[in-house]
Amino acid sequence: MTPSILRIATRKSALALWQAEHVAAALRAAHPGLTVDLVPLSTRGDEILDQPLATIGGKGLFLKELEVAMLEGRADLAVHSLKDVPAELEPGFALPAILPRADAADAFVCNLYANLTALPQGARVGTSSLRRQAQLRAVRPDLSLLDLRGNVGTRLAKLDDGHYDAIVLACAGLERLGLATRIRSRLAAPAWLPAPGQGAIAIEARDDQPAVLALLAALDDDETRLAVSAERAMNHALGGSCTVPVGAWCVVTEHGLHLRGMVGDAASGQLIHAQASSASDQANELGQQVANALFELGAAALLAQH
């Protein structure tokens, strides 16, 4: 039977709440008469904010409590930033909808300098992402890279308080929070690769609830799903862990898919790049192919360090 109400489990950060509200509004628009409520929850990932994410057990951290709420019948769906969703979902769950992608680029955020090249020698740049650290190190080996965690507002406050000369954030998150004016320059493909799935919002639900899945599928965006499928397949083939500096960017054209991939080393700034094209129904194979190309160029040695 088609449900008349859907409850969205969400984290409580400003960005998570914006994304959950965005999905709620889209569901109400797609299904007039449907009631959509938010169920805000705390996750372990939100509580352990003082340690680098790489050391505290990975991305699943942000999903677990939301998945438990769905299993216990307290919520029907969860809304995530796709880049926080592990390459492999927990058994019993599916991603019935991936919403149209926002700007997937990273943002250079800085009060005094317009871009990365303008930063003075030895400037302090904050980011806990090994992918961002590796790419920063590759172009500016002189920079002092410092850990920076917390939600978007906390990170901006630490920049403004003078703890860093610049920080790197996702453009999508800043735009959603009405903070696009903080983007001094974009760090964008092909020179700089985002995280697999960056800029896309994913809906997660139990795979044994067909009536719920059918309602959610109305929000799925074909083109975004193709692109992020290739990116996530590549990440999965590389080992799929968030503690590894991996970048991916897939574009969809009338000719099919084009995927660029990168594996890096945060300590040395060494980067390995590969790219390939495929027909649009070959996203998984394309991801595997680019991962294989990266392995042939020596990715295993970089991945082994993590």
| CA 255 vs CA 33, 56, 115, 139, 197: distances in Å | 40, 42, 34, 32, 21
The DSSP secondary-structure symbol of 301 reads H
Say if CB 259 and CB 230 are below 8 A apart: yes
Active site (annotated) includes residue 84: yes
The stretch near ligand PBG (CB under 6 A) out of 111-119, 170-178, 213-221, 290-298 is 170-178
The stretch near ligand PBG (CB under 6 A) out of 78-86, 184-192, 207-215, 272-280 is 78-86
Q: Does 127 bind ligand PBG (CB under 6 A)?
A: no
How far apart CA 66 and CA 245 sit, in angstroms, is 26
Q: Count the neighbouring beta carbons within 10 Å of the beta carbon of residue 210.
A: 10
Q: Which of 36, 169, 202, 271 binds ligand PBG (CB under 6 A)?
A: 169
Question: Mask of contacts with ligand PBG, 35-74, x by CB under 6 A?
Answer: ----------------------------------------
- Decide whether 135 or 288 has the Cβ nearer to ligand PBG: 135
The DSSP secondary-structure symbol of 90 reads P
Instruction: Give the binding-site size for ligand PBG (rule: CB under 6 A).
Output: 10
**Least distance from ligand PBG to the Cβ atom of residue 293, Å:** 25
**Least distance from ligand PBG to the Cβ atom of residue 182, Å:** 11
End-to-end CA distance of the chain: 47
CA dihedral 106, 222, 207, 70 (to 10 degrees): 40
How far apart CA 269 and CA 58 sit, in angstroms, is 22
**Least distance from ligand PBG to the Cβ atom of residue 192, Å:** 14
The stretch near ligand PBG (CB under 6 A) out of 110-118, 140-148, 167-175, 297-305 is 167-175
Q: Which of 81, 133, 224, 289 binds ligand PBG (CB under 6 A)?
A: 81
How far apart CA 114 and CA 301 sit, in angstroms, is 35
How far apart CA 184 and CA 187 sit, in angstroms, is 10
Q: Which residue among 37, 76, 84, 265 is the active-site one?
A: 84
How far apart CA 187 and CA 189 sit, in angstroms, is 7
Q: Does 16 bind ligand PBG (CB under 6 A)?
A: no
- Decide whether 63 or 170 has the Cβ nearer to ligand PBG: 170
Q: Which of 170, 237, 257, 303 binds ligand PBG (CB under 6 A)?
A: 170
Q: Does 84 bind ligand PBG (CB under 6 A)?
A: yes
User: Residue 172 carries which side chain, given as an amino acid letter?
Assistant: A
Q: Count the neighbouring beta carbons within 10 Å of the beta carbon of residue 186.
A: 14
Q: Which of 10, 43, 198, 278 binds ligand PBG (CB under 6 A)?
A: 198
Of the candidates 104, 85, 6, which has an alpha carbon nearest to the alpha carbon of residue 45? 85
Interaction site with ligand PBG (CB under 6 A): 81, 83-84, 152, 169-170, 172-173, 198-199
Q: Hey, which residues are catalytic here? A: 84
